Every structure is written in C-alpha cells, then in structure tokens.
Structure 1
C-alpha cells in the first residue's frame, strides 16, 4: 500500500490555490505564506492525543491544562494510554476535575486501544483520511471535527476541509463577501476547486476569519 507523507509542500499548495481561486489568491498575497507546521515531523501517540482532546473539550485552555496536569500526577505518567489510565479509578478522575461523560469517554478509548481498534502512526500512514475518520469516530466523545484537526495539525494531510468548523465558514463568508455564513454543504461544494490542497485553503480561511473577527480557538493549537 502507498504510504501517506506527513506534511506537504506549502508553497506548491499556495501556488495551486492562487491559480484555482482568484479571490483566495488576493488574500494569499495579503496574508503571506503559511509555513509548514513543525508538528508534522514530530512523533506522537494517537491515543494520547485523543485522550487530551477529550479532556480539553468545552473548557478553556487554562482550565483543561490544570485538569490534565492533575491526571498526569495521579497516573504517574505524561502519556495517556490503556495501561496508565488503568492506574486510576473513576472517583480519582472525578477528583481531578474530569466530568462523568469524559470519564466514560476515556474508559472507552482505553478499552478500544486494548482491543487493537485504535490505529497507531504506522497504520495511519497507509490509511486515507476517510478511513482514519471511520476508525476513530466510534470512540465515545470523539467526533469528526476532532479527527480532522489531528489529520491537519498532526498528520499533515493536505486535502482535509472541516465543513462544520465555524471559523472556516466565517472565513469563506468574508472571502466571498456574502451576507450570511455558508452552510456546511455549501462550503463543501465551494471547496471542491481547492483540492488536493483543501487543508491549506482551510488554514487561510481561519486566518481570514481572524483578520475580520475575534480569533477562533482550535483544540490542536
């Protein structure tokens, strides 16, 4: 099976997008190039990343970081996986500030890892983006958006467009000078012209949204 590289040529992506979309080309010139994300070259454990995504959901960065630090201290490790999460009971997780729903999500993630259901980086390297989404969204507390953030920010897949993301939709509204924010389906159709570099288009749409509104928080930042 062909392996998927982690990352892509961002200058090639910008040149492609500028040729395909005149409005986006104007913004690319205005905002300047977007450098490759250094995390594309760093190893990481998908289970650990998913556990942290669960813990960060619906919390400010500071509050979530405090809870993560408490859990790390309780398990005696800075890595979350089935073995380390097995060192802590539900009551202790709750004492660390982890909600009941998040506790159930962490238990489900750990059980699925123990059963071999969570692909590691090596397996992911031969899976396309849709296959990775299909493998991970059955985990309690993990939705498509969370997996898309991993695909973009950690795996460097070049052709991911999170159509439900409000920041991206806001960016397209500003790009097209539309009166209303586009619906996800409208964004998907509009984004067909950006393939195979829809990830990079999304990065620009976030920057466009940030230039005309309050910055949008993203869990993988």
Structure 2
C-alpha cells in the first residue's frame, strides 16, 4: 500500500508512521534535525468525524477562531449531533440564525446533501488516494483544495500532504530555510522534495515552529 493510501491508523493516538517519519526527516534534512527534537513527544492528533470536521471547517472560514467557536456553539444547539439529516431539517434560516452568513449556510446544506445522497464516498476515503479524495471534496460548495488538504492531514492522517496554499507552511519555510526571505510555491516544492514521503510531518513541525497550526476540529 502506498503512503498516499495510508488511512487514519494510529497506535495510542500517535500516527503509526510518525516515528519513522521523524527519523528519516532528521537524517535527510539539517533543518528538521534541529527542529524536530525541540517538540519532544508531540505529534499530529486526528480530529473528529468526517462530516463534523468538514462542517466546522466551513463554519470557521474567514473569521477569527473566537468568532468561529461562538458560531459553532450556537450551531450545535440547533444540530447537536451534527448529522446531515439534522442540518437539512434545520434549513438555511435556522443555520443563519446561528451566525452563519447566507452563503455559508448554503455551503453547509450542500455538504449535508452530498453526504446524505452519498455523492461523496466517505466510507471509502481511507482506501482512496489523496488526489481522489481531494477531487471528491472540492466538488462540494465552499470546500477548496486547502480545506480538502487540511481534512486529509487532520482527519485521515495522511503522511504526505504538502498544502502549498497554506500561509503558515510558506512562512515556516521562509523563516527556517530562507532566513525570512519571501518564498514562492516553487521554492516550497523544492524544499519539500527532500521530505517525501513525509511532507505532512515536516509541515506539522514547521507549523509548530510558528505555533500556527490551522484549527480543524
């Protein structure tokens, strides 16, 4: 099985590949050799059930973490189990009353419709390649490639994701590899070529170096 198909297997909460990834990254990359030991036994932690994770991602788009938390709490009062059926029963008006914009309410309903109609194959995602999962997710309104990649990292615990649209990743590469000089996506790809097949793990340590890991619950 290729690393792009490794699902969310973990032992005692630690992704099964984490130690191997750390060892290989420290052997290959002088920056990782200095960075990884600074964070001891810390590791990527998987977050939540698929529909809940994606719904919260949409709710939190383009607003502060504090605001997103407040909207999410109100959302859970209306949809306490956060199931597609509850979302569809609530409808756009009740979702908007939770603090969601009209557009976000439409996005959450579209997400629920995709799950209920099984237009996405959530039960098969652990067996699908990274790009296959991304291709399904970006068909849903309000979910772009970045959100799909965060889902692969935090929900499916995929080991080899490189989220080139993530500002934290680019800033981490800039500070740690280019003395703070701005970096392009091409620069990031070149640095990350040395991380294969553990780009998720390297990305996570760069986030930690900035203390700016995305909030995906």
The higher-RCO structure (CA 8 Å, 6+ apart) is 2
Shift of 1:205: 1.2
In the aligned structure 2, how far is the partner of 1:199 from the partner of 1:168? 10
Question: TM-score, with normalisation over the residues of structure 2?
Answer: 0.86
Normalized against structure 1, the TM-score is what?
Answer: 0.85
Aligned to 2:17: 9
**Structure 1: which 5+ runs fail to align?**
none
Moved more, 170-179 or 196-205: 170-179
TM-aligned CA distance change 1:21 to 1:138, over 3 Å: same
2:118 to 113, 116, 119: 116
Alpha-carbon deviation of 1:111? Answer: 1.8
Q: Is the 8 A contact 2:162 2:203 kept in 1?
A: yes
In the TM superposition, 1:10-89 aligns within 5 A as 10-29=18-37, 31-39=38-46, 44-75=48-79, 77-81=80-84, 83-89=85-91
Offset at residue 181 of structure 1 (A):
2.0
SS of 2:170's partner is: helix
Residues 14 and 33 of structure 1 are in contact (CA less than 8 Å); yes or no, is this contact kept in structure 2? no
Unaligned runs of 5+ in 2: 9-14
Distance change (3 Å), C-alpha of 1:50 and 1:32: closer
CA RMSD of aligned residues (A): 2.1
Match of 2:11 in 1: none
Give the number of aligned pairs.
Answer: 209
